[in-house]
Amino acid sequence: MTRKAVVIGGGAIGAMCALEILRRGLSVTILEPGEPGGEQAASFGNAGWLSSHSVLPPSEPGLWKKVPGYLLDPLGPLAIRPRRFPAALPWLLRYLAAGSSEEKLVRTAEALRSLLEDAPRLHARIAAEAGIRDLVRDDGGLLHIYPDRATFGREARAWRIRSGVGIEWQEMDDQSLHAMEPDLSPEYRFGVLVGEAGHCSDPGAYVAGLTGYAVARGASLLKTRATGFSFADGRLRAVRTGTGDVPADIAVIAAGIFSQPLARAAGDRIPLESERGYHVAIDAPEIVPSRPMMVHDRKIVITPVAGRLRAAGQVEIAGIAAAPNWQRAEILKQHLLATFPGLARDGAVGRLHAWQGHRPSTPDGLPCIGPSRATADVLHAFGHGHVGLASSARTGRLIGQIVAGEPPEIPLAPFSPKRFR
C-alpha cells in the first residue's frame, strides 16, 4: 500500500519537500490555507536571493550593546517593539548568545554553507523540470555595494569567515562598479561581486509554479490549516485540520512562522520568532539595475522583480499579530531613491507597493530539519529565517532522503530540532 505523506505548508520549503517526497513514490497532500505564492507568504515578499554565501547568522559579537537602541528606535534597521520585548526576551537571549564569539559564527557558517552550496544550480534544475526556468537566474551573481573600501573593511570578519568556507568574490573599484551599474549613486565607490550566487526574478510566481508542478505530478492541494496530529500506538495516523482529519503515515511541518504550535504537538518546544520584514516596490521603474544588490550602509537589498524594482529588508521584532508600521516601508523607499537618484520621485507615488511579512527564525540562525521527539513520522522543515528561498531546494532533498531512509547528503546534526532543550 502506498505510504501517505502530508506536507503542512505550501511555501518554498513545503513545495520542495512535496516534490522530493513524490520522487520517492509516496502519495502527497499539501495543506495550505492561502494561495501558494500569495501575498500572505514569506516567499512572496522576500528579496529573491539564491545566495549561497549567506552563511552568517544575524547576530554577532557585541550586539547586546545595541539592544537599548533597538527598543528606542522604532524605525531602525533592527527594531524591537517594547510590547513584544518581554515575550521575545528568551529568544533574544539565545539570539545574542548564538553570535557571541567568532568560533560560534564559524560553526554556523560551516553548517549553512552545507545547506546553501550550489543553491542556484539546484533551483535551476528544479525550475527547468517545472517549466519555469526563466524565473531562476544562476548567472551574473549578486552584488554588495559600499560607499568605499574602508566601509567594506569594517566587515572584514564576515568576509573572512565566508572565505574560510570556500566562498570567493571579485572586488570592484569605483570605475568598474559604475561601468556595471551606471545609474548607481556616485556615493557608492566600492563593490563585491559574488559570482556563484543567483536570484529568482519573481519569488511568488516561482512558489506558485513549484506547487502547481507538484499537483501536476499527483499531489493533492487542500486549502486548510493544520491544527495538530492524531497518533495511535506511537505512530502517526492523521493530520488534524480545521476541516477534518487527513490520513497520514508521514507529516512534514513546513508552515513557516505558524510551525511552532505544530512542533509542540509533536513533542518539541522550538524557539521561533518572526523577524518581520518589509518591502516597497516601484512599478515600471525608470532604472533597472543589471543584477540584485545589497546596499550595506542602508541595510537593504534591491532586486528587479516582475516588472518592479523592489527594496527589501529590515528586521522588526513585534510578533505575528501586531499591525505593520508602514513608516518602515517609507524608509525603504527613501533608501531606494537615494541609491538610484534617477528614479522619478513624485512620479513614483501612484506606482508604489508596500508589503510586510514574517521570517520564521530560530535564535541560532539555523533551521530545524529532521524528526520530532515524539515520533519519526513527523518531520520538521522550518525556521529558515533569512535564507528560506535559497535553502529550500536542499531542504526538500534532505526531507525526501529522510522519508526514504536514504543517507542524507549533508550532516543533519547542526539542524536537529533536538538541539533545543
Cell of 147: 560607499
pLDDT of residue 234: 87
Residue at grid coordinates 491544527? 227
pLDDT of residue 225: 97
Beta strands in 110-219 (DSSP E): 136-137, 142-146, 170-172, 190-194, 198-200
Task: Write out residues in the chain with pLDDT < 70, as ranges.
Answer: 347-349
| CATH class of residue range 1-56+116-135+195-272+362-421 | alpha beta
Which residues, including other chains, have CB under 8 Å from residue 357's CB and lie 6 or more apart?
A: 40, 41, 42, 44, 45, 46, 276, 277
The three-point CA angle 316-394-317 to 5° equals 10
**For 235, phi and psi rounded to 5 degrees?**
-120, 150
pLDDT of residue 347: 58
Domain spans in the chain, listed from the N-terminal domain onward: 1-56+116-135+195-272+362-421
Exposure b/e, 58-79, CB count within 10 A at least 16 = b = bbbeebeeeeeebbeeeebbbb
> In terms of DSSP bridges, do strands 352-361 and 198-200 run parallel, antiparallel, or are they unpaired?
unpaired
Task: State the Cα–Cα distance between residues 157 and 33, nearest whole angstrom.
Answer: 42
Task: State the Cα–Cα distance between residues 23 and 107, nearest whole angstrom.
Answer: 32
Residues in the chain: 421
pLDDT in tens, 315-371: 999 999 999 999 999 999 999 999 999 998 775 667 899 999 999 999 999 999 999
pLDDT of residue 148: 98
Q: Are 4 and 403 in contact (CB under 8 A)?
A: no
Residue among 152, 191, 193 at smallest CA distance from 169: 193
pLDDT of residue 318: 97
pLDDT of residue 71: 86
pTM for the full model?
A: 0.96
Task: State the Cα–Cα distance between residues 204 and 305, nearest whole angstrom.
Answer: 10
pLDDT in tens, 74-90: 888 899 999 999 999 99
